[in-house]
Structure 1
């Protein structure tokens, strides 16, 4: 059996960032376009300071990028930031592949052999 995924291979900040439902909602909002803190905060019943804390955690996790334009800072989704999560989940694909292969074998073993049909749809008599 392959070695289990090592936590140090994948930054724990990504998983910390995704653990909170508010931060997952922020990621969805930012998937459409970049936004300022005030624009993001307008989607939630919380202070701009609270939204800023969530954005900092998302940034630390590599899930968003920031861009300064004058006095404003724009936040945007960083899709490649999800790669560590994809990699970690990819380890478990082997279990799905094995389970689906076993299911396919079981179904094929249990299926009755069908009788060949004639062109009219009736079964042939041997």
Structure 2
């Protein structure tokens, strides 16, 4: 409906029932920064901080970055009556888990380096 009304522009980001968006994972010094395309619920934020703390510290989570897809709920929260309002402003029940999977994949790539080899530290030069 939002596309038909012209609120959300039609484009290459929507393919059938799949929506493509962006997130970024950046290491700046020892810090890790993860950008998210919406507003995440606390349980997802805590999970992301735990996951990403293995790759640097502190961990910063930037919401509403790169895109604005509304609320990002976990599957467990999505169908709770308590969050019916937020559910109305969420693109999918699957977006939370998909974003965590993407963060995990990006973090693993960060750990391995560009060519799939473990990154060298300054002590190994």
Would the TM-score normalized by the shorter structure come out above 0.5?
A: no
Bigger strand share? 2
Give the structure-1-normalised TM-score: 0.28
Q: Which has the higher contact order (CA 8 A, sep 6+)?
A: 1
Bigger helix share? 1
The structure with the larger Rg is 1
Give the structure-2-normalised TM-score: 0.28
